[in-house]
Structure 1
Amino acid sequence: LSLSSSGQNASSQEICPSNSSYSSHVSDSHPGSALSRNRTLYSRSDSGISSLLPSDYFKYLTWHKIEQNDIRGSQLRCPRVREGPSAEGLVFRQEACTLPPRKRVLEKNEWETWLQENWEDCTNLNISFQDLGDPYQVANFNRILRRLIRVETLWLVDNSLVDLSAIRLPSCRVLNMNKNHLTSFKQLPKIPQIQHLFLAENHIETLTGLSSLQCTPLESLTLKRNPCEFHQNYRKQ
């Protein structure tokens, strides 16, 4: 017998079901449920009763796949966008070398996701520290950047970014790209309205390409901890 936090005697063998029996009970009560298959039991130290943490219900879901969710992408300030390819996508990638190229057609659920993400209406967005690794993740990240036509403040800190020259951010006024892998100003996105640009802790070796920012209303530029800092007349240039 053990003393529970409520002060009552309780037998763990009589009252507490085993993890296996409890798991089977949950699975049986919700047949075919993805949530029931992914739930994990946790033992509470105060009473010894196994229970579920609320976060377990959602740990395998992205924000736009949660039911009864009306949140749009433009309402998020720091979303996690580092998703991986689906199982079908992985198979397709393995067979891509043997299949002829085909035009990608958006299915209904993909189109609904596109509308709910709503990146076109974002004006203030932080998508830093995404830990981009797989080429699929980089491609998805660039897909989102191409949709940010109204963003004014954008943080892309520590994303291992190398070249965004194909991206255009027509309304961006504040861009933070600290701690990435840029080696030249030519790798920056098109930012015609930029006012404050942060490029600290990259790998920019020369100031070549800096002239591309002369036609912008740039007010401040941060380049600390870049190799170009050690060049002669760096400040003057």
Structure 2
Amino acid sequence: MTSSLTGDEVFFLSQEGKVESFMGMISYIKNEIQVIRERDPAIKSNMEVLLYPSFKVILNYRVAHKLYLKQHYFLARWISQRAARKTGIEIHPGATIGKGLFIDHGSGVIIGETTIIGDNVTLYQGVTLGGTGKEQGKRHPTLEDNVMVSAGAKVIGSFTIGENSKIGAGSVVLEEVPPNCTVVGVPGRVVRMDNKKVPRTDMDQIHLPDPVLSDIKELQESCVRLNGQVKDMEKQMKHLLDKNSGQKR
């Protein structure tokens, strides 16, 4: 069956597709500006967002990722490496990233090829989402929706960080993290947040539970209790000694 479209109609449809693509890009840029302004109180205007490394690198990633999916690997890598040199953020074009990713400050962030990132994820400077070696297939982590990874944290391996979870600054995570949890330490230890959902507004690097500090406080409380018991025993011993000395007289 031959096409009945004229040359003018074909040209119009091709231009219409370009307009839709352009409008989609404008909508995407507006969403990115909104995401960054919501999560960084230091920003005073929309124009300031255009200077942010996170904004620049994500735009480059979106283009590089489309090229990567079409198997234009060299061009995809060229775009991603150029963005890495300019921003200090290295995102492999093969990574799968959802909506609303915010990379605060960004210097030293590395996102590996088979990484999967859900919606509304926040990463801070120095974060590594790394692989486990030279094996093929899925070898990088999966971050579900609303995850926050604090400065300097390393998440290494093919496992899942559950939704609404927080990774504390400097932590090294080597195994799966359930949803609604907090991880701190090296290696990372999971501290449950009463199985309650962590709101996005509470996603900060400061207010994280510290299991080591909790253990120290428990030891201090135990020492206080033991000290009290020892004093009671001393009083009882003194009372018995006084009683025995009185009987001998």
TM-score under structure 2 length normalisation? 0.26
The structure with more radius of gyration:
2
Structure having the higher strand fraction is: 2
Task: With a CA cutoff of 8 Å and minimum separation of 6, indicate the structure with the bigger relative contact order.
Answer: 1
Q: Which has the higher helix share?
A: 2
